[in-house]
Chains A and B, each alone.
Chain A
Amino acid sequence: MFIINCPYCGKRDQLEFSCGGEAHIERPKQPTELSDDQWAEYLFMRKNIKGVQFERWNHTHGCRKWFNMVRDTSNDKIHATYKMGEKPPIK
């Protein structure tokens, strides 16, 4: 259990949120020109690293808005949360 700072509503319990996987994955501009492997790479392959990771989260039981989060997967420390479309505050 940890507290997440929703960029819209403020600090809330983790129970109210759901994780939407890795963030900042760009959709290929010309999907028809990709091979099956490249398309599968875009569609399914995720990093799932141990350490600082950029993720998409949704405040499911609150404002229902999507936002991004920088989280250390080894200790669940949340470094930052920021709105969709904004640049990550941490590199």
Chain B
Amino acid sequence: MLNFNSPIQNEKKYNEIKITEVEPTIKINLRSNKREFSTKIGKILSILPPTEANTSSGNENYSLLWLSPDEWLVYSKNKNQNFKDQIELEKKLFNEISKINQGAVTNVSDHWVLFNLKGNKIYDLLTKSCPFDFNEFKKKKGSVSQTIVNHIDVIIHNNENNDLNLFVRRSFSEDLWLWINDSASFL
């Protein structure tokens, strides 16, 4: 993240929809099936990794998303978090987990691009090209879903009512951004 170049650098407003790119934010992928892993993460981040499928946990600084029974994604809620703090966090996680074979810690900050979608019609927008059933998802704050939107793999995190964060792979981000803008203009 030394020479961070955002692929989008934009914010768009449509009828009842606001789309923003939330970058740069630190994102770290965590993998482990060891017992001590949860306690270690709890000590470092002050959040316990969620064990229930399609859920998340968090505090004022970080969100921890369930990706699979042995995989989680932690990301910073603060855009433009101090670069030194990001490095410190990654180092701490790496030393406490990866280095002693308790799991794998991978910095995926530049792998995922984060979009924030707000507004009353965000679910109308997504259901245009997503097979996922959002009925239960939108009722539960903190829900997480990995699915496909317009044939592109995404991770969707329900922040609060009509406010969600969408992670998309960097190489697909511009394509999805264009599709979202195009679709939103027809709502």
Closest residue of B by beta carbon distance from A14:
B131
Check B146 against A63 for contact (C-beta < 8 Å): yes
Check B54 against A65 for contact (C-beta < 8 Å): no
Give the B interface residue count (CB, 8 A). Answer: 13
- What B residues does A15 contact at CB under 8 A? 131, 148
Check B68 against A8 for contact (C-beta < 8 Å): yes
Check A9 against B54 for contact (C-beta < 8 Å): yes
**Smallest CB–CB gap between B129 and chain A, Å?**
11
Q: Please, how many angstroms separate the alpha-carbon atoms of A63 and B67 in the complex?
A: 6
A62 part of interface (Cβ distance < 8 Å): yes
User: C-beta contact mask, A14-36 vs B, less than 8 Å → 1, else 0?
Assistant: 01100000000000000000000
Closest residue of B by beta carbon distance from A64:
B68
A-B contact number at CB 8 A:
34
- What A residues does B131 contact at CB under 8 A? 12-13, 15-16
User: C-beta contact mask, B61-83 vs A, less than 8 Å → 1, else 0?
Assistant: 00000011101000000000000
Check B53 against A16 for contact (C-beta < 8 Å): no
- Asked, given contacts A15-B131, A63-B67, A65-B68, whether A9 binds B148 with beta carbons under 8 Å apart, the answer is no
Task: Give which listed residue, A8, A13, A63, A65, contacts B132 with CB less than 8 A.
Answer: A13
Task: Give which listed residue, B69, B133, B148, B153, contacts A63 with CB less than 8 A.
Answer: B69
- Asked, given contacts A8-B53, A9-B54, A13-B132, whether A61 binds B153 with beta carbons under 8 Å apart, the answer is yes
Q: Please, how many angstroms separate the alpha-carbon atoms of A64 and B132 in the complex?
A: 16
By a beta-carbon cutoff of 8 Å, the part of chain A in contact with chain B is: 8-13, 15-16, 61-65
By a beta-carbon cutoff of 8 Å, the part of chain B in contact with chain A is: 53-54, 67-69, 71, 131-133, 146-148, 153
The 10 A-B pairs with the shortest beta carbon distances in the complex, nearest first, are: A13-B131, A63-B68, A62-B146, A15-B131, A61-B148, A61-B153, A9-B53, A65-B68, A8-B53, A8-B69
Can you offer 27 A-B residue contacts whose CB atoms are under 8 A?
A8-B53, A8-B68, A8-B69, A9-B54, A9-B146, A10-B53, A11-B133, A12-B131, A12-B132, A13-B131, A13-B132, A15-B131, A15-B148, A16-B131, A16-B147, A61-B146, A61-B147, A61-B153, A62-B146, A62-B147, A63-B67, A63-B68, A63-B69, A63-B71, A63-B146, A65-B68, A65-B69
